[in-house]
Amino acid sequence: MSEIRRPEYGSTLDRFLLERQRQFPEAKGEFTQLFQQLALAGKIIASRVNQAGLAGLLGHTGKVNVQGETVQKLDEFANDTLIRAIEGGGQVCLMGSEENEDPIPIPTKYPKGRYVLMFDPLDGSTNIDVNISIGTIFSVHRRVSEGGEPGLADCLQPGRSQLAAGYIIYGSSCMFVFTTGNGVHGFTLDPTVGEFFLSHPDIQMPERGKIYSVNEGNEGQWDDKVRGWVDWLKTPNKEQGKPYSARYIGTLVADFHRTLLKGGVFAYPADKKNKNGKLRLLYEAAPMALLAAQAGGLASTGTQPILDVEPTELHQRVPLYIGSKLDVEDAIARVR
C-alpha cells in the first residue's frame, strides 16, 4: 500500500504577518489587521465562488458599471463583501473600487485610519459563468491629504507609492499572493481548516520565460510594431527559445499568476479600439507592477514604467506589458 503523505503546512498568514510586524517595533498592527480583513473577505468570496452554480449567484444583475460593463451577481457580492469587511476596521480612510464611479467614504460611525485601499473586487467577470479562474486585486497607499476629509488625491497616487499590493485568486485552489515591499509571498487556503498557509515564500519570476499571453483576436486593431513583436515571438529560433507558446485566460489575475510562477510575458497593448489599452491603472496594472518588480520582473506601458505613471483619473486605462525582465525588455524594444 502506498504511503499517505501528510500535507506540509507552512506558517499561517496570521503568524507570518505578526512576525513581520515584530520587525517594526513602532508598528501599531494596523497593517496586520487590514490584511486579516482582506483575507477574511477573500475566504467569504472564495466560498461563494465555489458554490456559485448552486447558490443562484451565476449570471448578471441587469446593471451596467462605471466601465460600461455588465455587472455580474458575483461582482456585486464581492464588492459589497470587501467594503463591509474593511470599512469598520479603522485602518482605512477611503477606498476606490473598479465597480464604483467615485471614491468610497468610510461611514461616519467608524474610525478612519491612515491607509487608502484600491481594489478590483472580482477581476475576470466574463469567466465567472464558465468556471474559469477569477480573482480580487488590491493595493494600499498611505493617505497624502492633510486634515479634513480624504479625497480623490488620496486615490490618485502612482504605483511607486504603493505600500502593499496583491491578489486573491479563486482557481483550482484559492491563493492569497502579496507584497508589502519585502518580496512576494503566496499563501494557499486549506478550506477544511479555513486558514491560508504559506506555500510559496519569496516568489521569484524567471528572468525569461517561454510563454506569451495576449488577446490575439485584437490583432487587426494593433499597430505594426505590436504585430511585429508578436510575430517575432512566434518565429522559430532555437537559440532564442522560440517559438513561444501561447496562453490566454482572459482574467488578468490568472494570466499574471501563471506569468509570476512560470515566467514569460503578458500584454494588453493599446489598439485602434482601446487607445489607452483596456486595463485599469489603479486596480489592475499598478498592483501587478509592484508584485512583478518585487519578484524580479518588469511592467511597462511600452514607453514608461507602469510604476511611474501619474494617475489623473480614478478609472484610467493603460497599455500593459508585464512579466519576466528580459521578455518585457524585448517587448519594449520592439513596440516603442
- Residue 209 has phi, psi (to 5 degrees) of -120, -165
Enter the C-alpha cell of residue 276.
Answer: 489607452
Among 14, 30, 69, 190, binds ligand AFP (CB under 6 A): 69
**Least CB distance to ligand AFP at residue 255 (A):** 6
Among 278, 286, 294, 322, binds ligand AFP (CB under 6 A): 278
Any contact of residue 247 with ligand AFP (CB under 6 A)?
no
Judged by CB under 6 A, the chain residues 20 through 59 that form the site for ligand AFP are none
**Least CB distance to ligand AFP at residue 105 (A):** 25
Judged by CB under 6 A, the chain residues 155 through 214 that form the site for ligand AFP are none
Q: Are 136 and 98 in contact (CB under 8 A)?
A: no
Q: How far apart are the C-alpha atoms of 100 and 238, rounded to whole Å?
A: 48
**Least CB distance to ligand AFP at residue 124 (A):** 5
Count how many Cα atoms sit within 13 Å of the Cα of residue 263 in the half-sphere of its side chain: 13
Any contact of residue 125 with ligand AFP (CB under 6 A)?
yes
Any contact of residue 250 with ligand AFP (CB under 6 A)?
yes
**Least CB distance to ligand AFP at residue 114 (A):** 30
Q: How far apart are the C-alpha atoms of 260 and 258, rounded to whole Å?
A: 5
**Least CB distance to ligand AFP at residue 91 (A):** 27
Please name the residue ranges forming H helices in 100-162.
Answer: 152-155
Q: Please, what is the Cα angle at 40 between 255 and 79, to 5 degrees?
A: 65
Among 50, 51, 126, 245, binds ligand AFP (CB under 6 A): 126
Q: How far apart are the C-alpha atoms of 76 and 71, rounded to whole Å?
A: 7
Query: Which residues of this protein are in contact with ligand AFP, per CB under 6 A?
Result: 69, 123-126, 215, 250-252, 255, 278-279
